[in-house]
Structure 1
């Protein structure tokens, strides 16, 4: 059995990207860049108007009021074809190209229109309302760095760079094997004596997707070693990472590790000194990664958040430590002294601090609805009181 920090270090060492691929920009949301986004164009591609108004020559405004002949119009996407000569102006709209020789846009609110003439009295202000060519970015500029995850803001920049596709790290294919004779498909357990709805795989799959995994499948397995061995071999052929839930203790039907032994399972760690989730384990088989999570819902999700999230993040191209960003929080309720295992307390965040949820049972499911934080309590920590500062992780 190893400590949590040691387990996290093992995960960080092996969580490396699995290779890159190019994807259409419309499919790149939440993917991690393997290469930077480099602009193929200048933005804007010419001087453009920042407002609706009139494009004028600055020298024609030296004496006010000024009366300028309107010689045409400039729209975004279809600019005025000629230049602005002395004593003239062009009606212009936001985003439209500023015609040659014009160096200022006078906003329409301070212009009087008299037939073919625009009359400008005064109150010009200092703003020229012109966005210069390349004032946002120039061709060849790096807009989004390699290793960044593409959110909605980054996608705007990538599309604005005139990229049809981007090179990203491949998402790891993940397959979940839920073990236990007692498990039933949600919606059927009420009709089967002794059955309980299988809930863990849904939460684990959703968590893994958040951190970059592509879910290959979710399967339920009976506590039958031969059947489990066949499922293990097939899972390793299909996925980069296999997650097994349940069967990690020492009961007669706990076959989570045994099912992979024929595939040459090499354990990287077999237990972690944490509460909840001590039975969590990690190994390799047939060149693929295998993680075992406890079968109890809370234990499974806590260990998945602490160890599966950084593993998937690293395989997806992120820094594994990006999944373990602890922050300081103020306690609103006391916590008892911690035992000999590092403990991760499920808690709820409020505007002025954090409070442990009422049930810390490892099998609880209802409390997961409210628990949006994990509070880290070091082994042997003394009791904490209201107002103490604790380490918190988004859960």
Structure 2
């Protein structure tokens, strides 16, 4: 059994990108760029107006008030190349090409229009209100570097490159196998004596998607070695990562470690943490398998600690961003910690971190409102309310 820091280091080493693929722009949100996005052409493509108003020559400006004939109009999307005759003005709108010869746009609030003439009645200031061609970027400029996650901001910039397809890292394909004779689908457990709702795999499935994985499928399976072995073999054919839920301990009905045709080559067989000591990670053939405990809290805590960085790394993301701890104040007294590193569920409040009312590994009621994991080192002493703690967003 290894410590938490060593387990994280081994996850980071195992979380290598799975390769890249070309996808249509519409399928790129949330993906990680494998190659930089470069601009197809400069922006703006030509000089454009930054305001609604009138394009004029500096040399045609006179003492206020003065007027000029309106020689034409330019709107956004109009082809460039129009020319401004000397001694005249051009009606122009924001984003429209500035006609050749114009070197200033006077905003419409400083003008009065009368038929085909415009009168300039207020001082126009020093601003020229023209965005010059290429002032944002040039053709070939890198607009979004490789390694960036295509969130709503990066997508806006990437779209400006005018690329129909983007090269992104491949999402890890994940199959989830939940084991246990006692498990029933939500809504069906009440009809069978001894059954409980299978609550973990729906949460882990949502977590996989949130962390950038592609969920191939999830299955609920009985504790029957032959059934589990067939499901495991099929999962290894379909997935880059198989997540086994339950059966991770050493009881007579715990089969998740032994159902694979090839023996697991452990990255780690268990970790000295609480909750979640039975969590394990292994290579099986050329695939990865992570075993999560069957208790709901243990499963979700270990998923946040180890599955999150694993998925991020396999998908080309920055593993360290999924492993970051922050500093905060705990609003409740902290109990002494035993000989295993402990993670306490808590919720973030204005006055600090508030401990969940139950820290039992099988507790589910507090999970919905817990959004932080407080890290307690082995052997840490009890502390009063107000202590500074390290925590991770849960």
- TM bin, normalised by shorter chain, reads over 0.9
Per the alignment, residue 255 of structure 1 pairs with 255
Q: 1:127 to 1:208 in 2, by over 3 A?
A: same
Match of 1:305, SS? helix
Secondary structure of the 2:256 match is coil
Q: Quick check: 382-391 or 152-161, which moved more?
A: 382-391
**What's the CA shift for 1:81?**
5.0
2:323 maps to what in 1? Answer: 324
Aligned to 2:350: 351
Instruction: Measure the CA separation in 1 of the matches of 2:226 and 2:323.
Output: 37
Q: State the shift of 1:157 in Å.
A: 0.8
How far, CA to CA, are the matches of 1:57 and 1:220 in structure 2?
75
| Corresponding residue of 1:380 | 379
User: Unmatched 5+ residue regions in structure 1?
Assistant: none
Q: Secondary structure at the match of 1:263?
A: coil
Instruction: Please give the per-residue CA displacement for 1:343-367, whole angstroms capped at 9, x wherever unaligned.
Output: 0010100123211111111111121
**Who is 1:82 aligned against?**
82
Residue in 1 that maps onto 2:137: 137
Shift of 1:284: 1.0
Q: Is the 8 A contact 2:46 2:80 kept in 1?
A: no
Contact 1:67 1:87 in 2 (8 A): no
Structure 2 equivalent of residue 177 of structure 1: 177
| Cα distance between partner residues in 2 of 1:213 and 1:7 | 21
8 Å CA contact 2:111, 2:122 repeated in 1: no
What is aligned with 2:114?
A: 114
C-alpha separation between the residues in 1 aligned to 2:39 and 2:157? 9
Aligned residues of 1:34 and 1:169 also touching (Cα < 8 A):
yes
SS in 1 for 2:203: helix
Question: Contact 2:330–2:352 at 8 Å: present in 1 too?
Answer: yes
Tell me, yes or no, if the aligned pair for 1:69 and 1:116 is still in contact at 8 Å: yes
| Contact 2:71-2:85 within 8 A present in 1 as well | no
Unaligned runs of 5+ in 2: none
**Contact residue 68 and residue 89 of structure 1 kept, 8 A:** yes
In structure 2, what is the equivalent of residue 6 of structure 1? 6
Q: Contact 1:233–1:263 (CA<8 Å) still a contact in 2?
A: no
Residue 61 of structure 1 deviates from its aligned partner by: 1.8
CA distance in 1, matches of 2:364, 2:56: 68
CA shift in 2, pair 1:25/1:80, >3 Å: closer
In the comparison of the two structures, how many residue pairs are matched?
Answer: 394
Offset of residue 80 of structure 1: 6.8
Offset, 1:387: 2.1
The alignment status of 1:268 with 2:251, answered yes or no, reads no
SS of residue matched to 1:228: helix
> CA offset at residue 65 of structure 1?
2.2
Residues in 1 aligned to 2:350 and 2:128: alpha-carbon distance in whole angstroms: 44
In 2, the alpha carbon distance for the partners of 1:6 and 1:53 equals: 64
DSSP-derived class of the 1:303 partner: helix
The two structures, once aligned, show a CA RMSD in angstroms of 1.1
2:292 corresponds to which residue? Answer: 293
Number of the residue aligned with 2:333: 334
Q: How does 1:56-71 map onto structure 2 within 5 Å? A: 56-71=56-71
Whether the aligned pair in 2 keeps the contact of 1:178 and 1:201 (CA below 8 Å) is yes
Residues 199-222 of structure 1: CA distance to partner in whole angstroms, max 9, x if unpaired? 101111111111111001101111
User: C-alpha distance in 2, partners of 1:107/1:80?
Assistant: 20
